[in-house]
Structure 1
Amino acid sequence: MTDRPMPSEHASASEPAPETGSVPAGGPEPEPTDRPTADAWAALGGPAELLARVGFHGPQDVLPSGLPVRRLARATVAACSLAAAELAAYRAGGSVPAVRVDEGAVATAFVSERHLTVGGRAPVTFAPHSGFWRAADGWVRTHANYPHHRARLLAALDLDPEAGPEQLAAVLGKLPAEQVQERAYAAGALAVAVAPVSATVHPLVESRDSGIATARPLGAAPVDRPAAGVRVLDLTRVIAGPVATRTLALLGADVLRIDSPRLPEADDAHADTGFGKRSTCLDLAEPGDRAVFEGLLATADVVVTAYRPGALDAHGLAPDALLARRPDLIVAQLCAWGWSGPWSGRRGFDSLVQAGVGIAAHEAGPDGHPGVLPAQALDHGTGYLIAAAVLRALTDQRTRRPGGRHLRFSLAGTASWLLHGIELDAPAEARHGAEPYDPSRWLAETDSAYGRLRHALPPIGYEGGPADWARPPGRWGTDAPAWH
């Protein structure tokens, strides 16, 4: 493998980052630039000289895997921290703060949904109908955490709506994996055949400038809130997108999540990713709600979407339509399977992408049972990359290139980088001075509308940066549809 990213598609890509950095006189001794961090930063169009500000500390024996998950995780958080520090320097004046990423905080945050407790209760991460199942000729992975997905899966397989996991297993065991996959796809359900490692390469980031409009001025802001006053419309669901907007809220942005009242969110999922944000419901097919949405959009700075490609187009919310109306807007899009190819329009989640691109096969056990990464790293890593790209775009609009931005990410792109773009970690015994990992150091408790929450602390780390969110999650869908 080569330690390089999948190429980003950007109108003005940065020069490759140097292997070593330098710091101003009187600063800490320079250390070798972390290559995955440098590659992610270059893909985001970041100035290479700022990489000298980045360092790491904390436990290193974290996120163990046959793939370089630890390196991906810390690189995405480092790139996001550096983007926040860059914007902080612009808005507060002075030099870019030093970035110090704690690898224990990163590892804990990458499994935030597993550390979450709500009133002392641990949520169920995967429903009984979700998981790996033997097919007639291999394995298939299903995702049926939401009731409507479970109903579609059972209907696709001609099973009773009340059929249990045992009945599902019996049917799946008689069918070829790809037949299950295609029947599920046709029914709007979610099932993917476990495949060998894919040679298909997707970009880590795709970015294009749009228009020449001047972005709304941003005044001074404190170092720990570099995105203060930035208005973000959050049209995302299920980990990656919500992690991105949760991170922007951490950094001071006014984030308003908007959902359809016909598509409820699981309380536990919102309790994990709703920190710092507000949440409201609007039906875009209803004229009154649509008028409210248009009023919010008129003064938004950023729109983040994570619905299946094309799903929002019928509502006039395709990126080109948004940028035609608002040429100064930053539009960040996320999809599962990449923006080109026969699967580009399909639904997907982290677990399914792991199965479809070969990660599950790569991580299989001795008995051949497919394996998983130690975290939903495609989700979390992509979430921090999206937040980083938005922060960089906010800075870039005001210092180098005015105009709107269209940013595209995919779970498959992050998977490509993990599989083909990052070298494996050194063996744990080869790392010197590593401290033991105890996740309790990076957990906190707070009261919320859902009850007492135990939650992971944010991993973003730069000098003067925020240590926690300003507010716990409120009840899903109960906030007023208005900016602060």
Structure 2
Amino acid sequence: MDHGTKSGCIGVLAEGLVSVDRTSHEAYDVVEELWKGLDLPSKALSRVQLEGASGPALPSSFRLGVLAQGSIALSALAAAQIHALRNDAQVPQVETPLQHAVIEFKSERFYTIDGEPRQPKPNAIGGLHRTADGYIRVHDSFPNHSNGMLKLVGLPLGSTRNQLADKIAQWRSLELEDAATIKGKLAAYALRSYSEWDALPQSTAIADFPISVQPISSEGKQGFPDHIPRGAFACLKGLRVVEMSRVIAAPLCGKTLAAHGADVIWVTSPNLPDLPDIDREFGRGKRTVQLDIQKATDKAKLLKIIKDCDVFIQGYRPGSLARYGLSPEELVKVNPNIVIANMSAFGPDGPWAGQRGFDSLVQTCSGMNVSEAQHADQGEPARPMPCQALDHASGYLLATGIMAALYRRIVRGGAWRADVSLAGTMKYLRSLGQYRGSSGFQCKDYKKQADVPAEYLETRETGFGRMTAVKHSANISGCEVGWKIMPKPLGSDSAEWL
């Protein structure tokens, strides 16, 4: 078994409030620590094979290769464990090549439809802006966020990025963050250093272990439900998943379960803006239903599929679905065997628990962008990581948490809850340490589909045209891994189980 060799380029732990030092961790160590922390059978760890050269795998001071390979392999091992439990068999061998894993961490940047890549957002106004006393990052992926920011600073719709920059330059960073994010319904965060982040109460409210699995009821039945068959070649064949989510992390969680055979119904709202270019990548493997839960008839359809599901994934702010009677307490009444999975920006605890946030914003407010720039030493105030590593890792970690909860439900019974946050993943990545100086940037990047080895790509017909995209990087011996359902327009399917 090849678990890789230790890096010659030693990771250095960032100064500040990182209470666990994981700078000696390689990808297998990540799998082992999280697997044991989730109290899953240790015997399965011998079935993991991780190949690839140790050291920087993407140009960054952060140990992104370790996180990518480790989190993807962890989720695949969890699927293999469910497969073994269902069939009373040995856990099959899991392999995740390092290069393929880091490429999959950028998968949304590499797909093409009929040979055409993703198109850049027109009239983008977001990103890092200078303020009167520093910098702030503005999120503009959704029109309500971009339009809302323009309105907040007194600009008409359609204003340019330069016009917004002139207005933001008159604000202090924390004052604009407070007006937009704390008091408003927008998403903008001040650029902070590690020391500034560590001084916030939220930094200590985030757990050192990035996956939480907790019981929420003891009423559920033990064992597998009848709709999950024995002998299937896909590890999660028959598993019923309802997903209510947007953007990357939570949709990637559902996509991961689908790659292992789960029947995933992706529920979106006709009242909320979507991101078509992102949806096409993260819609792979899923059926798609649009429901307006403010309407009694649509809410009844949702509750009908929740009643007979195994897993409910939600990627909205903590507490936001409770307003519609979809709190964990209410869902357990509908389905006492349910596993509820929550993806959030800052986790369920602390003063920022209810705040909006996205990968780029968590990088900004937590000190990661400042530290990355300091390591690159190019005179920048901030530098983002070369991929949405917090989104991607969080998606695989939540998928693992779901399968750990399923394992407990099968063995012990009851209903369970899994929680993962972008900030929790950030804290874990930070604890892995950073490469010395600018040494982490001296490696190859993958910027376009032509940079991706052909064996990591697949081409399939979709509802939008012929799609070439990155395959799933995990392989499970003797089992099917991949997506049978291809992306289609939102709302193309019926709200019912196969």
Shorter-chain TM-score bucket reads 0.7 to 0.9
Q: Distance in 2 between matches of 1:256 and 1:272?
A: 15
Q: Give the gaps of 5 or more residues in structure 2.
A: 1-11, 444-450
Q: Distance in 1 between matches of 2:30 and 2:371?
A: 21
Q: What letter is aligned with 1:356?
A: C
Cα distance 1:155–1:102, how it changes in 2: closer, same or farther (>3 A)? Answer: same
Cα distance 1:264–1:478, how it changes in 2: closer, same or farther (>3 A)? Answer: farther
Q: What secondary structure does 1:334 align onto? A: strand
Counterpart position of 1:112: 107
Q: Give the gaps of 5 or more residues in structure 1.
A: 9-18, 21-31, 432-436
Among 132, 156, 172, the alignment partner of 1:160 is 156
Q: Distance in 2 between matches of 1:236 and 1:121?
A: 26
Report the Cα offset of residue 152 of structure 1. Answer: 0.8
Out of 61-70 and 145-154, give the one that drifted further.
61-70
Counterpart position of 2:221: 214
Instruction: Say yes or no: does 1:411 pair with 2:434.
Output: no
Report the Cα offset of residue 303 of structure 1. Answer: 0.2
Report the Cα offset of residue 125 of structure 1. Answer: 5.6
Counterpart position of 1:27: none
Out of 259-268 and 247-256, give the one that drifted further.
259-268
Q: Is the 8 A contact 1:100 1:462 kept in 2?
A: yes
Report the Cα offset of residue 451 of structure 1. Answer: 1.1
Q: Distance in 2 between matches of 1:273 and 1:430?
A: 30
Counterpart position of 1:75: 70
Aligned pairs (5 A) from 1:117-266: 117-124=112-119, 128-185=124-181, 186-197=183-194, 198-199=197-198, 200-201=203-204, 202-203=206-207, 204-212=210-218, 213-215=220-222, 216-218=224-226, 219-222=228-231, 224-266=233-275
Write out per-residue CA displacement over residues 257-285 of structure 1, whole angstroms, 9 at most, x where no aligned residue: 11111113222111100011011111111
Q: Distance in 2 between matches of 1:53 and 1:124?
A: 41
Instruction: Say yes or no: does 1:321 pair with 2:330.
Output: yes
Q: Is the 8 A contact 2:405 2:417 kept in 1?
A: no
Q: Is the 8 A contact 2:234 2:481 kept in 1?
A: no
Counterpart position of 2:403: 391
Counterpart position of 1:477: 491
Q: Distance in 1 between matches of 2:463 and 2:486?
A: 8
Out of 175-184 and 439-448, give the one that drifted further.
439-448
Cα distance 1:33–1:51, how it changes in 2: closer, same or farther (>3 A)? Answer: farther
Report the Cα offset of residue 448 of structure 1. Answer: 0.6
Cα distance 1:429–1:168, how it changes in 2: closer, same or farther (>3 A)? Answer: closer
Q: Is the 8 A contact 1:211 1:403 kept in 2?
A: yes
Q: What letter is aligned with 2:137?
A: R
Q: Distance in 2 between matches of 1:196 and 1:205?
A: 25
Q: What letter is aligned with 1:228?
A: K
Report the Cα offset of residue 231 of structure 1. Answer: 0.9
Aligned pairs (5 A) from 1:3-22: none
Q: Distance in 1 between matches of 2:435 and 2:38?
A: 23
Q: What letter is aligned with 1:264?
A: P
Q: What secondary structure does 1:57 align onto? A: coil
Q: Distance in 2 between matches of 1:439 and 1:138?
A: 41
Among 39, 46, 50, the alignment partner of 1:52 is 46
Deviation beyond 6 Å, 4+ runs, structure 1: 5-8, 425-431
Q: Distance in 2 between matches of 1:313 and 1:405?
A: 17
Q: Distance in 1 between matches of 2:58 and 2:242?
A: 32
Q: Distance in 2 between matches of 1:282 and 1:140?
A: 35
Cα distance 1:40–1:425, how it changes in 2: closer, same or farther (>3 A)? Answer: farther
Cα distance 1:71–1:228, how it changes in 2: closer, same or farther (>3 A)? Answer: same
Q: Distance in 2 between matches of 1:317 and 1:405?
A: 15
Aligned pairs (5 A) from 1:401-480: 401-420=412-431, 422-424=432-434, 438-480=452-494
Provide the aligned C-alpha RMSD in A.
2.7
Q: What letter is aligned with 1:463?
A: S
Report the Cα offset of residue 39 of structure 1. Answer: 1.9
Q: Is the 8 A contact 1:152 1:187 kept in 2?
A: no
Write out per-residue CA displacement over residues 222-281 of structure 1, whole angstroms, 9 at most, x where no aligned residue: 464121111111011111000000111111111101111111322211110001101111
Report the Cα offset of residue 370 of structure 1. Answer: 0.7
Q: What letter is aligned with 2:214?
A: R
Q: Distance in 1 between matches of 2:315 and 2:329?
A: 16
Among 297, 303, 323, the alignment partner of 1:294 is 303
Q: Distance in 2 between matches of 1:340 and 1:269?
A: 29
Cα distance 1:323–1:429, how it changes in 2: closer, same or farther (>3 A)? Answer: closer
Report the Cα offset of residue 430 of structure 1. Answer: 13
Q: Is the 8 A contact 1:354 1:372 kept in 2?
A: yes
Among 18, 31, 35, the alignment partner of 1:37 is 31
Q: Distance in 1 between matches of 2:102 and 2:453?
A: 8
Cα distance 1:415–1:83, how it changes in 2: closer, same or farther (>3 A)? Answer: same
Q: What secondary structure does 1:303 align onto? A: strand
Q: What letter is aligned with 1:411?
A: L
Out of 82-91 and 318-327, give the one that drifted further.
318-327
Counterpart position of 1:376: 388
Q: What secondary structure does 1:140 align onto? A: strand
Aligned length: 456
Out of 99-108 and 219-228, give the one that drifted further.
219-228
Q: Distance in 2 between matches of 1:474 and 1:239?
A: 17
Q: Is the 8 A contact 1:101 1:460 kept in 2?
A: yes
Q: Distance in 1 between matches of 2:247 and 2:441?
A: 36
Q: Distance in 2 between matches of 1:282 and 1:153?
A: 28
